[in-house]
Structure 1
Amino acid sequence: MELNCRIAETELEWAGKLNPGKWIEHSRFVALACKNIAAQCEDLSADQAYCFGLLHDIGRYAGVTSEKHLIDGYRFCMERGWKKAAQICISHAFMIQDIETSIGTFDVSDQDYLFMKHFIKNAVYDDYDRLVQLCDALALPSGFCLLEKRFVDVAIRYGTPPVTVARWKKILEIKMLFEEKIGGSIYKQLPGVVENTFK
């Protein structure tokens, strides 16, 4: 089954019925951010980016979990033949390719942990991986936001482990990468967000 926008939307709606929560609206805003930014990039498909954004947290269909949702999403997408979407289900949480940079809890089996450790280390990231990593940090369930607001939102919920600043720096690097690609601020692609102009 080939992945397209209609199918991705249907799967997210199905997942939301199994495990309702703010993650559904968050996923929709991530997807819209991905679509809007990708539309300004000559080498990316806005529709594909939208699908990857919609499905990045699809593993949450299985219930309220921490890092388990990453591998649940990976398996969900792999079963349907969506290899890139499957990778992004894991890669979106690891802008630094080291499992030790996780801010969640590994509520998975030892076997799954070892699989994820190997997968993260050896995955080949492209701009779709990086775009979802970026847009995951640009979207609250209530709408688009500045990166700094999302950083605080996550810090309040997960705390600030030693890897926190390194993760923030990596996201800011990715922001710069996409701003170079589109020749301007990413925030211009996110309706309702006013960029802080202080330098």
Structure 2
Amino acid sequence: MYPKKELALSELEAAEDMNPGPWTDHSKNVAKAASLIAEHCEGLDSEKAFVCGLLHDIGRRTGIASVRHIIDGYNYAMSKGWDEAARICLTHSFPVKDIDADIGKKDITDRQYDFIRDYLNNLEYDDYDKLIILCDALADANGFCILEKRFIDTTRRYGIYPFSIERWNKTYEYKDYFEKMTGRSIYMLLPDIEKCIYL
């Protein structure tokens, strides 16, 4: 279950009031990218893709956080009964389905660590998990961007980690997957993506 688009937008606005920052514009762009790609994929619902993209970082409503925003988002969405959105809150940070492959600071308790680890270990990613992971890398606060720019941006901010290359390769794998589904380059579906080269 997931909320209607209008309610999801309202939730993001309320979250922005609680913790202002570029993460909300990023979330809107992830939502747009996911919806645009889903429109060209048989079996995917573009509204569900939009809502899941919009709420993937909703855990940031509680303040500045690293890995904690994943579990905060999951818990918040579950408290609303939005199990499908909650799942995306948890999976979107893991192109490599391993909690230790995340590049963020482990600002979580041991119990939360164990929950995320077990959740990932007992889950097979579906197309929405893969799509939001991909779109998380295709969108920043300014709009859409090519994967290489996004990867360099995060590397400049966080540095190189043991799983960095594996994360990039898995994201490219998802890009290839959706390009086969849509029959075209993903970049062709994202308006004005070329602007990211000149910003």
TM-score (norm 1): 0.95
CA distance in structure 2 between the aligned counterparts of 1:2 and 1:82, rounded to whole angstroms: 5
Compute the displacement of 1:95 (Å). 1.3
CA distance in structure 2 between the aligned counterparts of 1:104 and 1:94, rounded to whole angstroms: 11
Report the counterpart of residue 11 of structure 2 in structure 1.
Answer: 11
CA distance in structure 1 between the aligned counterparts of 2:194 and 2:154, rounded to whole angstroms: 20
Report the counterpart of residue 94 of structure 1 in structure 2.
Answer: 94
CA distance in structure 2 between the aligned counterparts of 1:64 and 1:174, rounded to whole angstroms: 28
Q: Deviations over 1:29-50 (max 9, x none)?
A: 0000000000001110000000
Report the counterpart of residue 51 of structure 1 in structure 2.
Answer: 51
1:2-151 correspondence to structure 2 within 5 Å: 3-151=3-151
Match of 1:130, as an amino acid?
K
CA distance in structure 2 between the aligned counterparts of 1:120 and 1:155, rounded to whole angstroms: 24
Match of 1:17, as an amino acid?
D
Deviates more, 1:178-187 or 1:106-115: 106-115
Corresponding residue SS for 2:193: coil
Percent of paired sites with the same residue: 47
Aligned pair 1:194/2:194, yes or no? Answer: yes
8 Å Cα contact 2:2/2:51 also seen in 1 = no
Compute the displacement of 1:2 (Å). 5.5
8 Å Cα contact 2:41/2:181 also seen in 1 = yes
CA distance in structure 1 between the aligned counterparts of 2:157 and 2:122, rounded to whole angstroms: 29
Post-superposition, which runs of at least 4 consecutive aligned residues in structure 1 deviate over 2 A? none
Q: Deviations over 1:48-84 (max 9, x none)?
A: 0000000000000000011000000000100111111
CA distance in structure 2 between the aligned counterparts of 1:185 and 1:83, rounded to whole angstroms: 31
CA distance in structure 2 between the aligned counterparts of 1:137 and 1:179, rounded to whole angstroms: 15
Match of 1:40, as an amino acid?
H
Match of 1:75, as an amino acid?
N
CA distance in structure 1 between the aligned counterparts of 2:102 and 2:2, rounded to whole angstroms: 31
Corresponding residue SS for 2:6: helix
Q: Deviations over 1:1-53 (max 9, x none)?
A: 85110011000000000000000000000000000000001110000000000
Compute the displacement of 1:107 (Å). 0.5
CA distance in structure 1 between the aligned counterparts of 2:51 and 2:71, rounded to whole angstroms: 18
Number of paired residues?
Answer: 195
- The two structures, once aligned, show a CA RMSD in angstroms of 1.2
8 Å Cα contact 2:3/2:51 also seen in 1 = yes
Compute the displacement of 1:194 (Å). 3.2
Compute the displacement of 1:109 (Å). 1.0
CA distance in structure 2 between the aligned counterparts of 1:190 and 1:142, rounded to whole angstroms: 13
Match of 2:80, as an amino acid?
R
Q: Deviations over 1:144-176 (max 9, x none)?
A: 000000001110111111110000000000000
CA distance in structure 2 between the aligned counterparts of 1:10 and 1:114, rounded to whole angstroms: 32
Compute the displacement of 1:124 (Å). 2.4
Compute the displacement of 1:184 (Å). 0.2
CA distance in structure 2 between the aligned counterparts of 1:96 and 1:122, rounded to whole angstroms: 14
